[in-house]
Each structure stands twice: as structure tokens, then as C-alpha cells.
Structure 1
Amino acid sequence: MRTRATVAAVSGALALSALAVPAAQADDSAASYPDVAKVREATSVRAEGEPYALNVSFSNVKIAKAVKVGTTGRVSTAVTYTLTHGTDVNIKAADFVTDAFIYRGSDLRPDHRLFGDKPAKCTATSATTADCKGTIEVYPAAHELLNTDAGTWRAAAEATAFNGQDPAGETFDISKVGYKTQANRGTTLVQRASKLTVDASPEPVKKGKPITVTGKLSRANWDRGTYNGYVEQPVKLQFRKKDGDTYTTLKTVKTNATGNLKTTVTATEDGYFRFTFAGTTTTPAATPAGDYVDVR
């Protein structure tokens, strides 16, 4: 089970999916992806006997500007980066593993980290560089996130060279394993997914009569696994003529204590009404399709 992880807790560090090293690295590798967590943990707590500093570095880390997470399913986000390594590091070895992850908190002791289900796959571009591609997965139904986790996360990358050492073996010598991580390689927003609805009535309506436009702005509640109203948020009411191409803002309305919206306008001509929410750091923008009103 993938859970909220802290660097200092062994149970958190081992809470990675038990998946084998991908095909780009040998399937018969003695090291599996969770083994990396053991090495990472030994480094973070400065244990007696720890891996040596692997001669690698990471640059050009690229990730989506925002990761929108609802309450169910899986959210997968691509991450790419450049791996630079010394000639003494064999990135093609069966038991060489690298990946990227995102985290909150301090660089040295993150409060929370999110990883991919599998290591990254790397393609050599020279004798000492490689382009790597990986993913970061989020499973909101597994309670990996709390509402307070919404906001800015930082990206990091790591690499482990097991050098033939089997973490499950009786003669495992961690001092012969190389490990390196670099924090603060970039940023992304992890956001609570939003929903916005709109309904304009009556339909049809006489010209000059009032039209009532209602809707609701809600967002994912990671604490409860539901969607709840996003309160006291400014939302624009917009109108597009029946044969028009663009929407014009008529007014700004704030959501109430339950996230609901309600306002009135005067019927002038056939067209579409919609609400649009610009978004915040913790919640992405949302705009539903327009609701058509026939004015007679």
C-alpha cells in the first residue's frame, strides 16, 4: 500500500509498491524498487553503515505545472530529467535504478513524498548523460493526500546503484551500494480537482423578463473522499450570443456557505450563459459548457 511517507519513519520509507525493475533495466535484477527505499532510509537517518555517494547529478527536471487530483482512480503525471553520471557508473546495469518524485517540507526531511509505481526509463545520449522519463502516481482513494497538502510541491530525483548487492541476501553490504538524491529540482501544484455547474431558467423566456442563473462550485475533499462546496469564491457569469464566438462577462458572483451560486439578469436575446472560475493555488480553474436560453 502506498501511504503518506516521512523520511524518518522506516515504515513510511518502505511503503512503495512491490514492483520489479522495468524492462529497460533487467527483469532478473536482484534489486526491486522497494529496495531503493531501504537505501534511502539508511542515508536519511545516517545509520551505521550507509551507501556511498553515487557520482550522478540531475538537471532539466520537467513536470506539469499542476496536478489535478480528485477523490477516486489514479492520477499519473509524467516527469522527465537529464541524468549526468561519472564513467564509473553503469546506468545500463540490471540493478541500477533511478526515479523522480515530488515532496513537501524541507529538502532534507520532507513531510510527505509521492513517487511513481515504477522507476524511470533512461536513454543514453552520451557516455555520461541520459534522458530519463518517469511518472508520479497519486491514488486519492488510498488517502495519500489531506486537504492541507494542496499547494506547491517540489520535485527531486534519485539514483541507486546496487552493484550486485542483494538487499535480501545474508551478505548484503550497504556500503557497497551507491545512492544520490538531489532536491529542489522544480515545482508543481498539487490541486484539489474542481467542478462547476450552471443552469439558466426559465426556458423559453420573454424579452425583458428576469433569467435566474444558478450553479455550484465544488472541489475534492481529500480528507473525506467527497466533493464539497468551495465557499466565498468569486465566479464570473458570462454570456455568448446565439451566433457569437466569444463570451462576455456580465458580473461577478460569490459562492455562498455551501458553494452555491445564484443571480439574475434581464433577458435580451437568445444565447448561452455560463459561470467561470479562475482557480486558486489549491484548486484549478473550472468552466462548464454554456446553458442555452431561448428569448422570445
Structure 2
Amino acid sequence: MQNLRRRMLTPVLAATVAIAPALGIAAPAAAAPAGVVFAQETVDEPSWDWNPASVSVTSVKFSKTAFTLRSTEKCANRAHITATLSGPLPTENVFASAVGVDIRRNGAIYDAVILTNSGGTTWEGDLPVCGTDPAGTYRTELYGAYVTGTGLDDPDLTFYRTNVVNGAYTVKRPASVTLNATPEPARKGATLTAKGVFSTDGKAAANTKVQIWFKADGSSAWTRKATVTTNAKGAYRATIKATASGTWKAVVPATGSRNEVVAYDAVTVRK
């Protein structure tokens, strides 16, 4: 996990050091702007060795770790990150220092954020989350780092890194399902039709399994009665025998890209 050397130098030193983007030492703490986000791309990780830092990360807090966004939404959503270190990052003979968060998707580096020192041993910043971000789980790796020496041409330039604190957040697409069970009321033994439409990310979703459940009045137990698949227009339809008055529900289970959605409809059954 040596990628901080490549990524964090860019926003602060690129203007004055031509080779900065090809490296990755931490940006100077005083100059690093909050919430700096890098291009969403896979970055090769160099093999240079880190040395153990003289301080450690003792706590990390994300204000939010679950986001439900349409793919058309912009980057107005944010998670505020607060990290506490066991002490201040060293300043003597230190060329650059920062606390950063590497973001990984499917194991590869996807993005990064630099935190700023908000006083004492506390570092803070915002993680923008965009609708254009693919749905799924993102792993985070937060750590502090500093570089001793006089500059990039110092042969004794040495990299130090704290412990790494791992975390995660999810990006999912909004989904919805409807349910209408007819006829209402129904005669006992008659055929009920349960139908509706399932959509995700604002569009009808085909080839999706919809579970149909029933709970009789006075009971607390749900029984699955059918599982059907949506058609090209996101519509589903199930026929079931009416046996008792109660509540029907349509359930589309959660996946890595959307949350579970449920719709209900009560039907009275008469003899």
C-alpha cells in the first residue's frame, strides 16, 4: 500500500516540481486543501519501502458510509472524515507530511482524499460521492505519512508511514417495487393475481426475481407463496389461491448495487 507517494504530492507540489506527479510523497500539511480528490483511475503502486512512523492513527470516523444515488446525480453527497493521531506529525527535518485516504474498488486504487490538520492531532476532510461512481462497496485505507530530507534530490530522502486503518462505504442505486393483489375482496379458494412493476435507477428492470409472501390476519409469520421474474418492462405477475384474509408483500432482495425494496397489499377473503 505504497501508493500515497504517487498520489498525494500532485495537488501541492506539481506546480513547482516537474516530477511530482510521478512520485507520491505526502503533501505539506499546511498547504493541503481539504477534500482534494484525484482522477478516478487505477494507479500503479511503487515498491519503495516505508519506515514505521513515530505516531499512529488512533481513531477514524466517517459521518456516513451508505449512499443511495441515481447514476445521474452529481457529487453533492459527502462523507466527512475525522481522524485522530496519537501525536502531531513530526516537523523537524520533514520535507512533506499529510494524512490521506486511499479508496479501493475491486482491489484497485480508485481515488484518494487528503485530510487537513484542524488543530492538535485531529485531521479532517470530505469524501465526495458521485452518482457517476459505479455501485458497489469501496474499501478505504487511512494513514498518515511524512518524508524527511531537504527535497526531492536529497539522497537521504526517507518515507515514514503510520498504521493503516481500514474502512468501507457503499454506493447503491435507488429501487422501487409496486404490488396490487386482486380481486379485493376475494372468495376463499378463488385465484388471486399479484402484480406490479420493479424499477432501479429510475428505469424498469428486467430479469429480476420478485418474491411474493403472505401473512394471515392474526399471525406474525410470513410464508413465501411464489417467486416470479420481471419482464422486459419490469413487470411481474403471480397467480395464487386465496385461502384467508391477510397481507401480501412483494420483496426484491438487496444486492451489492441496490437495497431491498418491499410493497404491501391487504386482501379480505370471504367464504
> Structure 1 length normalisation: TM-score?
0.56
- Counterparts in 2 of 1:79 and 1:198: CA distance versus 1, 3 Å: farther
1-structure distance, mates of 2:37, 2:53: 13
Residues 223-234 of structure 1 mapped to structure 2, 5 A cutoff: 227-234=202-209
- Counterparts in 2 of 1:134 and 1:259: CA distance versus 1, 3 Å: farther
Residues 210-289 of structure 1 mapped to structure 2, 5 A cutoff: 210-220=191-201, 227-288=202-263
The count of corresponding residues between Structure 1 and Structure 2 is 230
In the other structure, the counterpart of 2:135 is: 150
In the other structure, the counterpart of 1:137 is: 128
Pairwise CA distance, 1:238: 0.6
Pairwise CA distance, 1:285: 1.9
In the other structure, the counterpart of 1:170 is: none
Tell me which structure has the larger Cα radius of gyration.
2
Contact 1:59 1:82 survives alignment (8 Å)? yes
Pairwise CA distance, 1:252: 1.5
Contact 1:200 1:293 survives alignment (8 Å)? yes
Match status 1:185 vs 2:159: no
Pairwise CA distance, 1:287: 1.9
Pairwise CA distance, 1:237: 0.5
2-structure distance, mates of 1:62, 1:229: 37
Contact 2:37 2:113 survives alignment (8 Å)? no
Q: Deviations over 1:108-142 (max 9, x none)?
A: xx2x32659x7586885xxxxx7x776533232xx
Q: Deviations over 1:59-110 (max 9, x none)?
A: 76676775433344754446566634577369xxxx9864545332655xx2
Contact 1:67 1:77 survives alignment (8 Å)? no
Letter of the 1:202 counterpart:
P
Pairwise CA distance, 1:284: 2.3
In the other structure, the counterpart of 1:295 is: 269
Paired residue for 1:113, among 111, 114, 138? 111
Partner SS, residue 33 of structure 1: coil
Pairwise CA distance, 1:193: 2.9
In the other structure, the counterpart of 1:69 is: 69
Identity in percent: 23
Pairwise CA distance, 1:271: 1.5
Paired residue for 2:178, among 191, 197, 212? 197
- Counterparts in 2 of 1:238 and 1:106: CA distance versus 1, 3 Å: closer
Partner SS, residue 190 of structure 1: strand
Paired residue for 2:189, among 181, 184, 208? 208
Higher strand share: 2
In the other structure, the counterpart of 1:49 is: none
1-structure distance, mates of 2:117, 2:199: 35
> Structure 2 length normalisation: TM-score?
0.60
Letter of the 1:243 counterpart:
G
In the other structure, the counterpart of 1:165 is: none
2-structure distance, mates of 1:286, 1:87: 47
Partner SS, residue 257 of structure 1: coil
- Counterparts in 2 of 1:216 and 1:84: CA distance versus 1, 3 Å: farther
2-structure distance, mates of 1:196, 1:36: 36
Contact 1:122 1:133 survives alignment (8 Å)? no
Pairwise CA distance, 1:179: 8.3
Partner SS, residue 238 of structure 1: strand
1-structure distance, mates of 2:188, 2:221: 22
Pairwise CA distance, 1:30: 5.4
Higher helix share: 1
Q: Deviations over 1:175-234 (max 9, x none)?
A: 99x9858778244443333222222122222332222111222222xxxxxx22333232
- Counterparts in 2 of 1:31 and 1:102: CA distance versus 1, 3 Å: closer
2-structure distance, mates of 1:32, 1:195: 39
Pairwise CA distance, 1:261: 1.4
